[in-house]
A and B are shown apart, each in its own frame.
Chain A
Amino acid sequence: MPESAYPPPVRPPSARPSANRPGEPPAVKAPPAVAVVLATTPGARLGCAEGTLVDRLADQLLTLEVTKVVSVFRPEPATAREPAHDPGAGATPEPAGPFGSSERFERFETSGTAGASGTSLASRTTGTTGTTGNVGISGTVDGVKGAEASEADAAVVEAVKGTGGDPVIEDAGRVIRSTGLVGDLRAVAAIARAGGGPVAVFPGDLVAHTEALALLLADPARGTGALVAAERDLPSSASPAAPSSRAPVRAERGRVVAAGNSFHTVAEPNARFRAVLHVGEADLASLAEVAEELANLARDRRLGGADDSEVADLLLAGLVRVGVAVRAVPLGLLHCARVSGQRDADAAIVRLAEVDEDRARLAAAVKSDDGFVATFLVSSWSGHLVRAAARLGLTPNAVTGLSVGLAGLSAVAFSAGQRRAQLAGAVLLFLSFVLDCVDGQLARYTRAFSPLGAWLDATFDRVKEYVVYVGLAVGYAGGADGGVTGPQGVWALAVAAMLVQAIRHMIDFSYAGARADAAGVDPIWERPGLGGSPDLPVHGGGDLSGAPSTPAAGRRGPAAGAAAGAAVMAGGAGPVAVRRGGGGLVVRLSARLDRNTASRWLKKIIVLPIGERMVLIAVTAGLFNARVTFLALLAWGGVAALYTLTGRIARSL
């Protein structure tokens, strides 16, 4: 085996130290995020009931789990170092600043884990703002740092000292001053380099439901994700001038595949980035690299008209372009928007109250890209079950267990072979499928998803289905033993139906695995077996000066070096591998079918996803007999296999 050609990477998660509780398996729990609040735009100082918008955001972050809050703001005297890039420089916040009172700042301190310092706001004044290269830390802060700051804070300071950039770090890393876009980006880079947990970036002029922020911050995985709103979900009242309306993205299969801003354009955007970005620990190195690169580009005026209100937009575009897998976290019914004026802010806050946050959370727990049966026959009413299960304190895994139990009962009923038992079996099977949907929704609703839960769910889906096949065959054969393969070969049919299903799954898995291997993306992002839009589009992605950018274009990790990264982000003709558009006709036909709602559903139904399978089994077994069920499964499954194979072979060529 040519081992040398494939250096075996060591599984990273197990390398992390874990704090084990006695008697429990090693639980690697990622620390909560470091929240970076960019209180640099005039909108951050807009008033609301809680003071300013930044105060409001600060209160919300307090209710969520965050390691600490780092605020970035402009120095008191408007130095206007970058008139060309910082049109808002003339309107920099007043010295009173984003955090109006020291009490509020104190509350931040107590919420954090990095040690509480009482001398917070006092150290905000320093004489070094506006100077380039030589970044100084005021004496007060140094004292604080020596006494109480964590190593991570010290690292932030060191990192910023080393870059020769603009931002000035004060107060042990909790307050950063920067004079413009370049400094903001360098500050983010420094925080990312310092580590100490995932990094979340918030604009100061944000009006959002706490629940919306929790979508990213309270996610147990603490991975990389961006809040997005589907185009159709955007409130029509959103003013076109609002900063958020400038950040188009294209999201596919739960992942941001192209992101734009005033400089980077996106072909066929289908969603808007809603200004909040959360970068997991695994991607911090990429974030630092991207932020640093963007800062250099901004310094060299190579980002067009991009200004300091677009820090998160630029970072998202950069991360996507270097191939970081960014989860697209849909807002659903929740609101999260940036505002540009007092009236805008007031209206946005009023709109927040119009949404029932719990209902929105429930709606968000329903998978958006599900099959026809799951969407219309189950998810349309399963929300009540989810809420009831949450109230009863059922865990998702317990619901999975209930679902398995119901499927077992259904198999027993089918094995009796009488009409009434068949009907009972059909009902039980459908209920089992409903619970199968509920467990996933409950996991998302309570944010209790775990790798083990996902594995149990998927594995027991298979066990349930094949046990039902056996039950059906037993019921059909009854007492009469019609030879080796049972009467009319029903046992052979049962085995054939099972094997066709298993091989169809293997086609899905293998194709998804091959695509993930080729793109260098983690298979965790690939959802195999979807009929809807199973593939990344082959046309150019986020177009930037004609340079196509699909996730395949930038490989993750050190391979995407600084030079290549700069080329990707600035639109130079970098050495990027462009995914070849193959299978022309079939792919184009498939894309055309996606445009029409009816044919899109047809495409999903034809591959016989689990919901359709369960209904097919329930209906045929309830009304006819097991032989009809198996023949239907074989016929439909065969067509589905041919359809899938044709499409995937066409896409591979």
Chain B
Amino acid sequence: MHMTRVPRSSVVTYRDDGVLARGMGLLVAGQLPPLPPALAGAFVTGVMLLLGVAGADGPAVFAPAVALMLAGPGSSHPHDGRLDWLVPPILRLTEYGFVACVGFAWGVPRVLVFGLLGAMLFHHYDVVYRCRQHVYPPPWLASAGLGWEGRMLLVALGALLGIVTPVFALLALYLSALFCWESVTCWLAAPRSGVEAADLGGQD
């Protein structure tokens, strides 16, 4: 069986950084506290979405780049500050909010909006639930899944080029295929019993 590293920090794993965010993190070598820039990124994205999202010239198409510039460098921080656990939910809020707003503003078919959001949600829940059961996702999965910043940038690129619907369709297809396939193969290779199972949830 292949050996998967135990992630060094749950919070960093939950960030779901892609290649770009991790690259920016390398530049600052963990010296930047992650929470304030992530908050700023969410705030700026929210303001830009309010100002305008419909047209290719709306400021919202630049929100992902700004969010990446702000929140990306924090990715190399160990996230051991007292409130650093707020970072993953803030990144989720930024990403989900941006994708949903662009989808609705550009009149993307609902099934595609739900499809893309569903794939992203599945991935984020899947990472948490698998870590609970000690079946850790491989490190390449975050890169292949493009990361929060990669998905946002692609959607923004679609808006810039006026091809939002095809981008949503392609992303939804690619991500759901990737995340489902990886999860299933990982579970097929995992031990079935004899290891501690976290209690079956019924309360969350």
Could you tell me which A residues sit within 8 Å of B by CB distance? Answer: 1-2, 5-6, 8-11, 13-15, 18, 24-30, 220-223, 254, 280, 367, 369-371, 374, 396, 436-437, 439-440, 443, 449-455, 457-459, 461-463, 466, 470, 484-486, 491-492, 495-496, 498-499, 502-503, 505-518, 523-524, 527-530, 582, 609-611, 648-649, 652-653
Contact = CB atoms under 8 A, between A and B. Distances in A.
B189 A26 contact: yes
A278 to B, nearest CB: 12
B10 interface: yes
A541 to B, nearest CB: 20
A510 B129 contact: no
Interface in B159-204: 187-204
Interface stretch (B44-52, B65-73, B111-119, B149-157): B111-119
Given A11-B134, A499-B97, A513-B10, A484 B126 contact: no
Interface string B93-124: 10011001000110100100110011001101
Contacts of B86: 507, 510, 649
The 10 closest A-B pairs by CB, nearest first: A513-B10, A440-B200, A514-B85, A451-B133, A29-B194, A28-B191, A221-B196, A6-B8, A510-B85, A510-B88
19 contacts: A6-B8, A9-B5, A14-B1, A15-B3, A28-B191, A30-B194, A221-B197, A454-B199, A492-B100, A498-B117, A506-B128, A509-B10, A513-B11, A517-B11, A518-B80, A529-B203, A648-B85, A649-B83, A652-B82
Contacts of A454: 129, 132-133, 197-201
A369 B202 CA distance: 10
Contact of A8 (B8, B97, B188): B8
A505 B79 CA distance: 19
Contact of B204 (A8, A505, A514, A648): A505
A443 B195 CA distance: 14
A502 B9 CA distance: 21
A30 B26 CA distance: 41
Contacts of A25: 188-192
B130 A455 contact: yes
Contact of A11 (B5, B10, B25, B79): B5
B125 interface: yes
Nearest to B15: A510
B13 to A, nearest CB: 8
Interface of B: 1-6, 8-11, 13-14, 22, 25-26, 29-30, 76, 78-80, 82-89, 92-93, 96-97, 100, 104-105, 107, 110, 113-114, 117-118, 121-122, 124-126, 128-136, 187-204
Contacts of B126: 459
B204 A506 contact: no
A458 B204 contact: yes
Contacts of B78: 5-6
Contacts of B132: 454-455, 458, 523-524
Nearest to A18: B191
Given A461-B202, A610-B203, A652-B85, 17 more contacts: A2-B30, A367-B202, A439-B200, A450-B192, A451-B192, A459-B125, A499-B117, A505-B204, A506-B14, A510-B85, A510-B86, A513-B11, A515-B85, A517-B9, A609-B203, A611-B202, A653-B83
A459 B80 contact: no
Contact of B193 (A27, A396, A648): A27
A651 B113 CA distance: 37
B52 to A, nearest CB: 16
Contacts of B136: 11
A8 B129 contact: no
A459 B84 CA distance: 26
Nearest to B105: A484
B201 A458 contact: yes
Contacts of A507: 86, 89
Of listed B4, B8, B25, B107, residue having the most chain A CB within 10 A = B8
Contacts of B76: 1-2
A430 to B, nearest CB: 14
A458 B121 CA distance: 13
Contacts of A280: 196
B199 to A, nearest CB: 7
Given A29-B194, A222-B194, A453-B200, A470 B114 contact: yes
A176 to B, nearest CB: 28
Contact of B25 (A1, A220, A649): A1
B194 to A, nearest CB: 4
Contacts of A517: 9-11, 79-80
Contacts of B130: 455
Nearest to B7: A8
Nearest to B84: A514
Contact of A451 (B2, B121, B197): B197
Contact of A13 (B25, B110, B191, B197): B191
Contact of B195 (A8, A10, A451, A470): A451
Given A25-B190, A462-B121, A491 B8 contact: no
A466 B121 contact: yes
B133 A491 contact: no
Contacts of A374: 202-203
Of listed A1, A449, A649, residue having the most chain B CB within 10 A = A1
